[in-house]
Chain A
Amino acid sequence: MTQGTQPDGAPPGQPWGVTGSLVWAVAVSLVLLSVGALAGRPDVALLGVAPLLASLSATWLRPRGQVWADSAQSETTAGVLAQRVQLSAPPGCTAVRLRLGRPEHGFSEALVHVPLHREIEVTARSVRTGPQQLFRVEHQGIGSGGLTAGPVGEEAPDAVVVLPRSRTMPALPLPSRMRGLTGQHESRRPGQGGGLRDVHLFLPGDSIRQVDWKVTARRSPNLEQLYVRRTMALGEAVVVLVVDSRDDATSLDLARQAAMTVAEGYLAVGDRVAVEDLGVRRRGLRPGTGHRQLDRVVQQLALLRPEGDPRQRIRPPRVSAGSLVYVFSTFLDAEAADMARAWRRMGQGVIAVDVLPNVRTRGLDARHWLAIRLIRIEREDRLAELAAAGVEVLRWPDAAGTTERLQLASRRSRRRPGRSMAGAVHR
């Protein structure tokens, strides 16, 4: 909670200062009254009566004390930042002048009525996610008729973490290999729970429940041999989300959204998701599954931010064998692309998600235009090299195109030799 500071270091409890308007109103009123009285012109003198009365009442009813402001955090979601400002004004204060601002929104002013206590909801639309500052509140009490004013108080903005909001993604691709013996996806190993692998002669170790009696009756009517149905094992996918936190705020917002969408899609079907940050040299979030892992992933993504100028990586971060790696970056420099190619060479499935927003080139002069053309050419070459190396390249700002490409990749990843792809989607 903050309070206004008295001007000139005056002790608290002093009456508020009068404005220049009040002093001038009193002076002019007295002149009019004097001239009217001396000249015997009551019409002139009467002009000064109302201003003098208003000034006197404003002076006598000057509030004492300060306006107090306290900020309470309201429910902040992606898209809308909200804060409740609680105001307490001393008796005699007719209004409080509020100046509320954020660096991205500029300042808004309002003159609000505060009958001793008041709570005001302040909101601002923002597409930014991650660590944010809420509103800076400056306040000043106004006395009767605006003729007196209190000291100006100020409250520093509160900090808040805005979690990213995901998109809906109908299908996501799977890695080439599954891990473990449980999960939602069919792996390529023989085991229990999956679809039909083949029909084979009964061998020692096979369960009697696996015997396919129809096939046995057809192929061996005298029951010399028993035939069993062998099935595939189930497994879970391991997906690593590699986010390049060195990008600027808008790209990082898109990267957070894209990574959260992908994480939600995989974790919803029981897969394991890990998070790595290319911008720092710390260990990332280990692979995990379930709702709590989703919370951890969202928190990790929300807290991503550029941290200084990290050293260039020689080797890519270690990921589990058979993982599917998503790289979220603007690819404006070579590091993220080099890492993606390195993972691809190691045999991992790699999907590069380009999170560079649509660039506004309006108003650029010739030099800037040339510079942006060169950067674009380099970037396009980098993305073409990635595609040539077998990396799936997606452009996240193109929502429809991304969804379509991911659906196609999903269908391809589920293709098994000799099987139809009808109805094979991720979820």
Chain B
Amino acid sequence: MRLWALRNRLRELFGLPPVPPRPGSAVVPAAPRVEVAMAGAVPGALVRLLPPVLVVAGAALSGATGFAWYLTALAAIAVTWWPRFPGAAIIVGFFGLWVFGRDDLLELDTVAGTVPGLWRMAALVLIVHLLLVGTALAAHVAWRSLVEAGVLLRGARTVLGTQAIAQSVLLLVAWLRAWQPVGQEWLRLVAVVAVVGVALLVAPREWLVRRPRRVPD
């Protein structure tokens, strides 16, 4: 591939108009494309490249070390090239594993009376959310497509609403632990019951209803 064609391919990925060939060169210009009039479009390549960045940031915040970085690199490649593949959810599971393998991020510093890992935890909660939503959106975006700014703004509005609740829960948990650092076994019980309740709520009703046995033909 000639340099001119390579340059135009890159420009096309980022939504820029192609550069004409130099006078006298033998290159054949590419066929013109179908153009869609949109208000403030973002190249699809940017949307596709956001999840791997979030994967790396999430791994750094969750305390990945050594072999974990190889997994992070694989996950970054997977969410870039195969966003439909559930690589994002799997790597979020690994984030949880790495967080679990380290000290409690919400542990109270009894001397200073603060929670030193609070900001890190808040960033991790945000990144995990953005990673899952960003990958789900990237699954609908081709490399050469365009994404209208309105779509991203509406997505950002939804993320903000959810994050307001999630970050409030984080602050509530941090406050509860600071208020009563030990003896929260009753809270664990409540949490487990809540999780079971949510699982029953989320599962589609068809899964919970016994299907009538089929009569063989």
Contact = CB atoms under 8 A, between A and B. Distances in A.
Interface stretch (A5-13, A63-71, A115-123, A254-262): A115-123
B45 interface: no
A27 interface: yes
A107 B146 CA distance: 12
A274 B135 CA distance: 63
B46 to A, nearest CB: 12
Interface in A22-48: 22-28, 30-48
A33 B195 CA distance: 7
Contact of A37 (B93, B99, B191): B191
Interface string B85-97: 0101110110110
B192 interface: yes
Among A94, A101, A149, the most chain B Cβ lie within 10 Å of the Cβ of A94
A35 B97 CA distance: 10
B104 interface: yes
B26 to A, nearest CB: 6
B150 A113 contact: yes
Contacts of B88: 21, 24-25
A53 interface: yes
Given A51-B129, A146-B136, A124 B33 contact: yes
B31 A142 contact: no
A41 B44 CA distance: 38
Contacts of A25: 88-89, 92, 132, 136
Contacts of B99: 41, 43-44, 47
A30 B105 contact: no
Nearest to A95: B151
A219 to B, nearest CB: 68
A104 B140 CA distance: 24
A46 B146 CA distance: 34
A424 interface: no
A42 B34 CA distance: 51
A149 B84 CA distance: 12
B50 interface: no
B202 to A, nearest CB: 5
A47 B92 contact: yes
A120 B93 contact: no
Interface in B124-163: 124-126, 128-129, 132-133, 135-142, 144-151, 153-155, 158-159, 162-163
A223 to B, nearest CB: 75
Given A27-B89, A101-B34, A53 B100 contact: no
Instruction: Kindly state the interface size class of chain B when it binds its partner.
Output: 35 or more
B59 interface: no
B38 A112 contact: yes
A55 B136 CA distance: 11
Contacts of B165: 49, 53
Given A44-B99, A110-B38, A24 B31 contact: no
Contacts of A312: none
A49 B86 contact: no
A43 B148 CA distance: 36
B100 A39 contact: yes
A46 B188 contact: no
Nearest to B157: A94
Nearest to B94: A28
B169 to A, nearest CB: 6
B199 to A, nearest CB: 5
A146 B38 contact: no
Contact of B133 (A27, A104, A146): A146
B189 to A, nearest CB: 9
A25 B142 CA distance: 22
Given A109-B142, A145-B133, A24 B90 contact: yes
B148 A37 contact: no
A49 B32 contact: no
B106 interface: yes
B155 A145 contact: yes
Contacts of B151: 94-95, 111-113
A95 B146 CA distance: 12
B139 A19 contact: yes
Given A33-B191, A95-B151, A47 B124 contact: yes
A21 B149 CA distance: 23
A282 interface: no
Given A51-B92, A120-B37, 7 more contacts: A35-B96, A43-B105, A47-B128, A51-B89, A57-B162, A112-B38, A120-B36
Q: Which 5 residue pairs across A and B have the least CB separation, nearest first?
A: A113-B150, A109-B145, A24-B89, A37-B191, A50-B129
23 contacts: A20-B84, A21-B84, A21-B135, A31-B96, A37-B195, A45-B191, A49-B165, A49-B170, A51-B89, A52-B198, A54-B133, A54-B162, A108-B145, A109-B141, A110-B41, A111-B145, A113-B154, A121-B37, A122-B34, A145-B158, A146-B136, A146-B137, A149-B140
Interface of B: 26, 28, 31-38, 41, 44, 84, 86, 88-90, 92-93, 95-96, 99-100, 104-106, 117, 121, 124-126, 128-129, 132-133, 135-142, 144-151, 153-155, 158-159, 162-163, 165-166, 169-170, 173, 177, 184, 188, 191-192, 194-195, 198-199, 201-202
